[in-house]
A = this chain, B = another copy of it.
Amino acid sequence: MSRADLSSQTCTIARAVALVGDEWTFMILREMFLGHRRFDDFLRQTGMSSHLLSQRLKKLVAEGVICREAYSERPPRHEYRLTAMGRGLWPVVIAMKQWGDRWLGGGETPVEIVHKGCGRVSQPRMTCPECGEPMAAHDAAPRLSETFDKERQAARRQP
């Protein structure tokens, strides 16, 4: 199975990964959450090749994660912005940042997050909205839907 086929799976993680789960797409998203919008900025700040950047931007536009807008008619100039769908990826990028800071950072934190609501530097964390407690891996038990469970049982029995 190729990476592209992940998008047709039942699992929503697989679908999400097919769309935004590659290295350079993450780097583009990082730039967007840092406020950048232009092709050349993405190019210079990520270090990716222009060919790939072009491909990734097209894919993200086609899927509705970002949109392409003219900010000047003459000369014709365009920029890319996150849509609501794209802004929804903030927790993913932040979770990745927190993990990188904790396990790969060597004590330094290149980017801090200021919570506009309370004005403080914040290290956002996953919390259960039902009881308000913070959640980590050992606090959670996955429960598969019947359909999905059957699908996976079938996969187990494959050669």
Binding site for B on A (CB under 8 A): 1, 3, 5-6, 10-19, 21-24, 26-27, 30, 33-35, 41, 44-45, 47-48, 82, 85, 87-105, 108-118, 120-145, 147-148, 152, 155-156, 158
Contacts and interface: CB of A to CB of B under 8 A. Distances in A.
Given A13-B100, A33-B142, A124-B129, 15 more contacts: A6-B27, A12-B105, A16-B104, A33-B137, A41-B156, A45-B155, A88-B102, A91-B91, A91-B126, A92-B92, A94-B140, A110-B144, A113-B142, A118-B128, A122-B140
Nearest to A132: B132
A126 B129 contact: no
B137 A82 contact: yes
A104 B22 CA distance: 17
A111 B11 contact: yes
B15 A104 contact: yes
B11 A30 contact: yes
